[in-house]
Amino acid sequence: MFHHSSKLQYEVRCDKPNPAFAKYLQQAIGGIEGEIRVAMQYFFQAMGARGNPKYRDMLMMTATEELSHIEFLGHAVALNLEGAPVEVTEDAAKDPVVHAILGGMNPRHVLSSGLSAMPVNSNGVPFDMSHVYATGNLAADMMANATAEGGGRVLASRLYNMTDDPGMKDMLSFLIARDTMHQQQWMAVIEELGGMEAQLPVPNSTPEAHENTEHSYYFLNTSLDEPTPEGRWTSGKSLDGRSEFTIREKPDPLGQKPDLGKAKPGSGAQKEQM
C-alpha cells in the first residue's frame, strides 16, 4: 500500500521561468527516458516478481522513489510556466520575441493544462504503457531497468546542459546522482547472481535442447563489401563461458524461396491470384 508525505523528495527552485525549458523537462516526465516509465516498470515488475522476495521488495522501494521524482519534476514544469503568456494582445502579436516564445513552448501547456505539467514528452506525445517492460524474467528485467536508467541519465545530463538556470541545474544534479545509483543497483543484482557468465544467455533456464547451438556463437557479417568489424565478439570465450566466438561472412541463405501458391476462393483476393 502507498502513502504520501507532503514535501517533495528534493527541493525545486526555478530562478528564471522558461516555458521552452518546461517543454524540454516534459521528456523527463513523460518521455520513454522519463520517470513515469521507470515508476511503472518497477511497479509492474514487483507485482509479477517470482523467486527470492528481496528483489520484489527492492523493485517496489525504487518504484516508490520514482513516483517522487515525477512529483518534483512536475513542480519544476509548473514553475517554469509561470510567466508564460495566457493572453495575446495586438502588440504582442507583432513582437518576434513573443512569437519565438510561443513557437518554442508546448501550446498545450496553455491550452490544455493551464500552466502545469502533463504526462507527455517534449513533443507533446502522451506516454504509453507499452514501454513498461516486465517480462517475469529477473535478468531480462534487470537489464531493462539498467537500460532505462542509462537513458534517463543521458537525458538528465542533456537537460543540465540545455539550461543556465541554477535551480534547474541543482535539481538535475540530484536526478543525475540517483540515476547513477539506480543503474548500478540493477546491474548489481546480476553481479550478485554470478554475473554475466551465470546469467547469460537470458533466459538461462532454456534447455540446451531447445537451442540450435550451431548458430549461437558466430557473428554474422551480412555486408557485401565490408570486412567483419573485429572485437571481443568475434573471438575468444563467449560471455556465458559455454563456447568460443567465431565469424560467418557473406553467408548463404539456409532456407527455401518462400511460395504461398494461389489464393483461396472466398479469401477476398483478385481473381487473377486464384
- Cite the annotated binding site for Ca(2+) by residue number: 57, 221, 223
Site for a copy of itself in 149-178 (CB under 8 A): 149-151, 153-155, 157-164, 169-170, 172-174, 176-178
Which residue ranges are tagged as binding site for Mn(2+)?
Answer: 35, 66, 69, 149, 182
Site for a copy of itself in 180-219 (CB under 8 A): 180-181, 183-185, 187-189, 191-193, 196, 199-206, 210-219
Q: How far apart are CA 144 and CA 247, in angstroms?
A: 28
SS (H, E, C) 8-26: CCCCCCCCCCCHHHHHHHH
Site for a copy of itself in 122-151 (CB under 8 A): 122-140, 143-144, 146-147, 149-151
Torsion, Cα of 69, 72, 78, 83 (10° steps): -130
Rg (alpha carbons) of the chain, rounded to whole number = 25
Q: How many CA atoms lie within 13 A of 192 on its CB side?
A: 12
Facing residues of 221 across strands? 249
| Exposed e or buried b per residue across 64-88, where buried means at least 16 C-beta atoms within 10 angstroms of its C-beta | ebbbbbbbbbbbbbbbbbeebeeee
Q: How far apart are CA 174 and CA 134, in angstroms?
A: 27
Site for a copy of itself in 81-120 (CB under 8 A): 85-90, 92-93, 96-97, 99-108, 110-120
- Of 22, 38, 80, 121, the one binding a copy of itself by CB under 8 A: 121
Q: How far is the CB of 157 from a copy of itself (least distance, A)?
A: 4
Per DSSP, 220 falls in state E
Q: How far is the CB of 247 from a copy of itself (least distance, A)?
A: 11
Q: Is 241 in the site for a copy of itself (CB under 8 A)?
A: no
Site for a copy of itself in 9-38 (CB under 8 A): 9-12, 16, 18, 20, 23-24, 27, 30-33, 36
Q: Is 78 in the site for a copy of itself (CB under 8 A)?
A: yes
Q: How far is the CB of 38 from a copy of itself (least distance, A)?
A: 13
Residue 68 parent element (H or E):
helix 53-81
Closest by CA to 204, choosing from 244, 149, 242, is 242
Facing residues of 120 across strands? 126
Site for a copy of itself in 40-59 (CB under 8 A): 40, 43-44, 47-55, 57-58
Residue type, 26: Q
Q: Is 247 in the site for a copy of itself (CB under 8 A)?
A: no
- Of 17, 42, 71, 167, the one binding a copy of itself by CB under 8 A: 71
- Of 22, 35, 38, 269, the one binding a copy of itself by CB under 8 A: 269
